Amino acid sequence: MSKRSVVHFNSRKRGLLLVLTGAICWGVGGTVSQKLFQHYGIEVNWFVTVRLLIAGSLLLTVQYFRPMRSQILDVWRNKVTAFQLIIFGLFGMLAVQYTYMASIQHGNSAVATLLQYLSPVIIMLYLIWRKQAVLGSKDLLSIILALGGCYLLLTNGSVSQLSVPFIAIIWGLLSGISAAFYTLYAAKLIRQFDSLVIVGWAMIIGGTALSFIHPPWKFEFTSVPLEAYGYLIFTIIFGTMIAFWFYVESLQSLSAKETSLLGSAEPLAAVATTVIWLQEPFGLFQWLGTACIIGLILLMQLSRQKDLTINDK
């Protein structure tokens, strides 16, 4: 094996490790958030505010030590990109983060994550409606997998009873819609600026806006035990900042398609930790619904000719 081949092989192994670690951190981060909401009574508005502000600041700090540090301020020097960034921060980043966390708070991490992963189908239907794409056989199969997977996941095969509260389903579906907007709207900004710059600022914009509703300093810091702060740090550092940073870094040694496919480890991690660690009941039909949605993710990523996404949580 030549020296160049060895370097490429090692780079590829590093990329695989990064994307899998990032995806697992995303999935586990959602489950840890559920524990904070349901076991320690952490309020979702305060949590999202703090999470966005700290994680966004950390991502911009990472960018400062990268070659393109000047982009941190460059994005604000153009009125058009500055306006687009504000829109993305409010209706993309803040919307997708808040709806996802609200779905977790009222339901569980597994269902919330899987519902959010319906966003590719929402994007597909939007592009077909705008006549920017044509409905094909794979698209029909994707719709069938999405509808069938949702039905099994949310009912566990019983039409008379939902597996999670109805409000959790609404927030989860809104999360999928928000994720679709996040993906489509961010594409033009990512073509001009580094992903860490866009996502870092978007998090700070979203966190700042939510601060007017729930200021981060208005919190009974002595009302929660020490271990809750450990979980909070994990969701901010590993479940947000490290997860996205590793995902972006993996793009340097893997193709965008490979990174997206391996990123599907996120819902698997969310389901596994919800069932095993939090001991949430998960029936046979829910596992079948999970398989349908995972199959949907793989199908759409394999058939996608052009990668439009940046990931999120």
Query: Alpha-carbon distance 121 to 128, whole Å?
Result: 11
User: Per the domain annotation, does 27 fall within a domain?
Assistant: no
Q: What does pTM read for this prediction?
A: 0.86
- Residue 112 located in a structural domain: yes
Q: What is the pLDDT along the chain (313 residues), one digit of tens a residue?
A: 554 544 444 677 787 888 889 889 999 999 999 999 999 999 999 999 999 999 999 999 999 998 889 999 999 999 999 999 999 999 999 999 999 999 999 999 999 999 998 888 888 888 888 888 777 788 788 888 888 888 889 888 776 778 889 999 999 999 999 988 988 888 888 889 998 999 999 999 999 999 999 899 888 877 889 999 999 999 999 999 998 888 877 766 666 556 666 777 888 899 999 999 999 888 889 999 999 888 887 777 666 544 444 444 5
> What DSSP line would sit under 261-300, residue for residue?
HHTTHHHHHHHHHHHHTS-----HHHHHHHHHHHHHHHHH
The answer to whether residue 1 sits within a structural domain is no
Asked if residue 104 is part of any domain, the answer here is yes
In a domain? residue 200:
yes
Residue 55 lies in a domain: yes
Q: What does the pLDDT read at residue 91?
A: 95
The number of domains in the chain is 1
Q: How far are the Cα atoms of 26, 27, 144, 146, 177 from residue 134, in angstroms, in the given order? A: 33, 33, 17, 18, 20
In a domain, 103, yes or no: yes
Is the residue at 98 inside a domain?
yes
Instruction: Identify the domain containing residue 75 by its residue range.
Output: 42-303
